[in-house]
A and B are shown apart, each in its own frame.
Chain A
């Protein structure tokens, strides 16, 4: 018997006047898996989450979570989901423990269960020491962790996280990723929205790219990256006279046509398997005795995927995101803007 997905959306539409926030979105998330909903600001990610968590009613279409209809079975549905939104929704004038216990009581869990569960979550999220402090004294990362803990109080089988790491520093982001991975291991079904391909890549089993209220692509992270042209290895040779030797050395590894800036000694070359290509390239260059002053691997970002899918940049009109500045590096066919950059290890 074919299993019903834990999260299902069929033809979801939501219009605000002329603005089509969602224009017929279909999603299916099998139980126990993670779907990354990837898209720029204003693409419709949050609207989709709001409809599936009963905060908003769709204009048309159908949504179902854990078998419950998002319009007809509102109360039952809310008992089996957890939601953490873009902003940490915690009460600053309560302690961490009180925040969690309040949420537990509002799920109508028995008092003793609520107390035990709150203590367990505070421990799990490394908040036990700060449990009885007012949350207004918490750092941004602690707030986010508490917010996520609040979404987990009922141990919901289905979890919705709307841009859970936006605004966190890299360490905080790393922490949160680890917590989320642990949850997923326990079998929680997760729908996660994000603007970062890297995040979806790390956490999601499958990814749906959303733009202007449409799902424009679905697939695994690798499939999407392949569409976006894969990884690019960039290196700078210490003395420009050695560029030719370097290119020859790179010929030994599996890669595409290199793009060369001889004056600066810079070479960029598409590679298939990023991480191992870095190792191979270093070995090969070392063997050829080419000194390299800089070497880095560019992973395709949301922008690159977007550009590949739509032929335009991901940013909504006139709205710059907080990424790195334009990166004009000779890959003339790439969009300017934010790019996932990971230094070679």
Chain B
């Protein structure tokens, strides 16, 4: 063919061609587009919303009515089990929600979506950021829903308004950090079923061997030793103190350190997995 007259540099692409560094506005807009895309899923799949909220609601009801009677004798006098329980339920709900980060990402990988995104001139961070952010938005919704359900069955806040909001926010923040662990798992196992299994399996012992559902004093000594140092215990204790009153700072600092450590380790690991995901 000799007729081709367009020089290879003269592009007819409708897309602006980036020279130099990517503007921050693009980075933000890409993450926003991806977040929106992920959230639309929940509007399009009402079943998903229903079933993913039924589960935590069920836990609130089961734990408070089934175990509440037995556990209340181990609590300090005057403490309602539901007031004790809700901090654990919040953390459980955000953890379960965050497992979906890995499931969603591995689904995108398995279906070739990640290939498409990687072939587009979009910010490298957007796929992961969009996923973790949309799951965080979802967690906000789930935590608020849990609060309402809790209030209906007798849960009460016993601290100042700001402190209570901080407590709920702290649960969501932990969920965000946890999403990055989940993202790493999802990018590693690469198929949604495995991501679901691998995301959940190690969470159960961590969650149950913590102060989530029962006071630590009821556990055998060796388990108490583990549970006392379990980061989930610190996070739950911090949320409990923020929403119910009591000494906050010790658990709050330790939990914050954990959250920062998780982000420092798993954000770069996930980004690297994403870049090499072929």
What residues of chain A have their CB less than 8 Å away from a CB belonging to chain B?
3-6, 30-33, 50, 53-56, 66-67, 75-76, 78-81, 83, 85-89, 91, 93-94, 98, 102-103, 105-109, 113, 117, 134, 150, 153-157, 187, 205
Contacts and interface: CB of A to CB of B under 8 A. Distances in A.
Given A32-B3, A89-B113, A107 B8 contact: no
Given A50-B278, A157-B13, 9 more contacts: A31-B7, A54-B118, A54-B119, A75-B18, A78-B121, A79-B11, A89-B113, A94-B37, A154-B15
Contacts of A103: 116, 120
Contact of A102 (B16, B19, B26, B33): B33
Contacts, number: 127
A85 B118 CA distance: 12
B65 interface: no
16 contacts: A3-B4, A3-B7, A3-B8, A4-B7, A66-B11, A76-B18, A79-B18, A83-B115, A88-B112, A89-B113, A103-B116, A105-B33, A106-B117, A108-B26, A108-B121, A187-B6
B37 A156 contact: no
Interface in B43-100: 44-45
Main secondary structure of the interface of A (DSSP, over half): loop
Given A85-B116, A105-B29, A80 B40 contact: no
Given A3-B4, A3-B7, A87-B112, A154 B41 contact: no
Contacts of A88: 112
B22 interface: yes
B14 A89 contact: no
A106 B116 CA distance: 11
A154 B11 CA distance: 11
A256 to B, nearest CB: 33
Nearest to A103: B120
B122 interface: yes
Main secondary structure of the interface of B (DSSP, over half): loop
B111 interface: yes
Which residue, of B13, B15, B41, has the highest number of chain A Cβ atoms within 10 A? B15
Contacts of A98: 40
Contact of B9 (A66, A117, A156): A66
B30 interface: yes
A80 B44 contact: no
A208 B111 CA distance: 29
B37 A89 contact: no
A88 B113 CA distance: 9
B115 to A, nearest CB: 5
Given A66-B11, A85-B115, A205 B16 contact: no
Size bracket, chain B contacts: 35 or more
B120 A107 contact: yes
Which residue, of B26, B113, B115, has the highest number of chain A Cβ atoms within 10 A? B115
A50 to B, nearest CB: 7
Interface of B: 1, 3-4, 6-9, 11-19, 22, 26, 29-30, 33, 37, 40-41, 44-45, 111-113, 115-122, 126, 278
A217 B22 CA distance: 41
A127 to B, nearest CB: 17
A55 B278 contact: yes
Contacts of B44: 93-94, 134
Contacts of B7: 3-4, 31
A270 B14 CA distance: 49
B40 A93 contact: yes
A103 B119 CA distance: 11
Nearest to B25: A108
Contacts of B9: 66-67
B6 A81 contact: no
A93 B45 contact: yes
B38 to A, nearest CB: 9
A2 to B, nearest CB: 11
A87 to B, nearest CB: 4
Contacts of B113: 89, 91
B119 A83 contact: yes
B17 to A, nearest CB: 5
A106 B37 CA distance: 12
A31 B116 contact: no
A32 B9 CA distance: 13
B8 A66 contact: yes
B11 to A, nearest CB: 5
B30 A106 contact: yes
Nearest to A32: B4
Given A32-B3, A89-B111, A89-B116, A155 B19 contact: no
Nearest to B37: A102
B8 A31 contact: yes
B33 A106 contact: yes
Contact of B8 (A5, A76, A106, A108): A5
Contacts of B37: 91, 94, 102
Contacts of A105: 29, 33
Which residue, of B4, B6, B121, has the highest number of chain A Cβ atoms within 10 A? B121
A31 B4 contact: yes
B29 A79 contact: no
A78 B115 CA distance: 12
Nearest to A153: B14
Contacts of A102: 33, 37
A80 B9 CA distance: 10
A99 to B, nearest CB: 9
Contacts of A113: 14
Given A33-B4, A79-B13, A79-B17, A106 B120 contact: yes
Nearest to B3: A32
Given A94-B37, A113-B14, A78 B119 contact: yes
